Structure 1
């Protein structure tokens, strides 16, 4: 049975709990919550971490009144309206479902969870009627003034039909990065750079161009001794007919995140690294486009950077209104489906079409699909005893 969230009426402060007190909680979620608490009724009532010393230090530094090491106990005692998840992907399904069943909305860090099966279980646990509770994924790169302006230009085809696109996440991660035992493994990290790094730019590409139709891909382990890939490339055809290349890498010393969309009347390009502002977007008109149109296209308005704060502001408004937030449900699932299809295409050599990975498909329950050379090695058999 679902518990009706108390904030559906919009009365009183939204009560928030942070689960996981590592780096992303400190640099992403806590600053966003603190900034928004200064402008609207919101209070952080609790934090949860399996390490007692870590959660106690986090709460002491942030002025959070209630530290916990047990999620279920926190949900029962504090009854938060919103839970923000900053834990490893392998924990997201169970923790999100627990929070939803306690009546809390959830804002979950990417990667969403290790499989489409897990995501569908989360969606099934959401509220059956209007008002939620709902679970949204942290895809902050599709928020902010720049992405909003370009989305509107593309939606009304002001710059013409999108034709050719490029989506690039070429970052660099050394051996020290992979020394953490949970990195580079399917079970804990969920995937390699396609899942853990490039999913942000792929999500933004989908948000701008709409549904995809088919994908072909390659993946490799060129440097790092890991279970997952350290580089992937893909060709994607969109339902509109537009075609895109996608590159995800952790082998690239000159780090950059980039999206380029060539349309009939202009090229739209975003170049940044971990977040973007209006100045990071560039619009290059085709020959003959009137100057007054170019001026309108390049007027991005007030600068709202992409950020956790920008996405969370919208989610809190949705929570108070009782409406489904962006990057939840099917809108949040679409990027994970593209990642799953990329892996299937890379590991099988086949063209994968949107919607084909369903229950019964090996890539539905695990992104490695059990593919030889890519699936985790089975544990060693126990030695026979005399």
Structure 2
């Protein structure tokens, strides 16, 4: 129904308007008593083949929702109902901010891609805390992707990240330190190994200090860009290890426009979707080799099919995330990925996801 009816209608609208319309519908669906739980009984993976325990948390599926789609955590029950194993909300900043001027979100249908220059538009950390607190029990782990406000200088950025940790530690199942969005001026400079290690050490220490107060110890992950030089990428991954981070997400959007055909390729911003499939899988493999599997890697970028997700698992990812493919394939994508991954694991004689992580690395 999505591909034949809803998608053609939504694609007649401005991309951001369609996004808000869809998110509003999911927010409304989240409030329907009993529906998210009932729907998840149909969409969630059956059996234990896709299940893992990572950082002491149970993930019924390795397929998660990437940050950016539900920035303010308004539709967590509905997204959980689609069959995801976890959800990443945000990017959230300490203070609310409107983001960049519109238009700032563009489709490239011929390329199965999106370009965005949203600029961390969100309602702020306090608002996210309120929404997640009001939910009570959540269907799946919910990660908080955290960033700095645009007006905050890089030399003061650590304070913004620590504020997000202090506000959200009660409700976040993991923190994702976002230093790789291309849409906040100067942000990517924080990926440099020296600066990154200082930032991550501070965030890890804040989580550890908050553990006494909250009795919660969410893992700290860092999200890196696909545009780093190989030597810089390796240094940043090593910096994450040295700082005590518990995971690496590979990768964020890219500034590359190689191979694109749609006229929107000229738009400024970060590119996501099909053009990143091969590049992000290669970076997952690199990260797995650098870390030697000592911390989990999360693979993001261009996952449209179960085979795409499986390739990232075999390259070294414990978990994977999708965003752009949801726009082009619709909500049924998650169930398709879960079923397809189960079939691929069964084909290869694997009893669980853990059996294939990194086998191609």
Common fold: TM-score over 0.5: no
- Return the index of the structure with the highest Cα Rg: 1
Normalised TM-score (structure 1): 0.27
What's the TM-score once normalised by structure 2's chain length? 0.29
Greater fraction helix: 2
Structure showing the higher strand proportion among its residues: 1
